[in-house]
């Protein structure tokens, strides 16, 4: 049997934070802040070099719709 789980996250359009310091609840730093990751999808996160903000992982971005 298959189920669909719908979660609500609070983030920017392409970033893990909707404003400085206000990150998605699934954003995490592991090993004392050296590698940021998405706890929901277990993926490492990357920084946009132009804006210096953490980008949402591909699974988060492609599986979400604005509410």
Q: Other C-beta atoms within 10 Å of 60: how many?
A: 19
DSSP letter at 43 equals: E
Name, in order, each residue with C-beta under 8 angstroms of 24's C-beta and a sequence gap of 6 or more. 9, 10, 11, 16, 17, 38, 56
Any idea where the domains of the chain sit in the sequence?
Answer: 17-62
What does the pLDDT look like over 9-65, one tens digit per residue?
999 999 999 999 999 999 998 766 678 999 999 999 999 999 999 999 999 999 888
- Pick the more confident residue, 67 or 20: 20
Element (H, E) at 58: helix 58-62
């Amino acid at each position: 049997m298959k189920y669909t789980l719908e979660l609500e996250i609070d983030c920017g359009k392409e970033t893990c934070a909707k404003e400085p310091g206000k990150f998605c609840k699934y954003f995490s730093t592991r090993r004392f802040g050296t590698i940021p990751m998405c706890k929901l999808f277990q993926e490492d996160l990357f920084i946009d070099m132009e804006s210096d903000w953490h980008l949402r992982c591909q699974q988060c971005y492609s599986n979400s719709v604005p509410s």
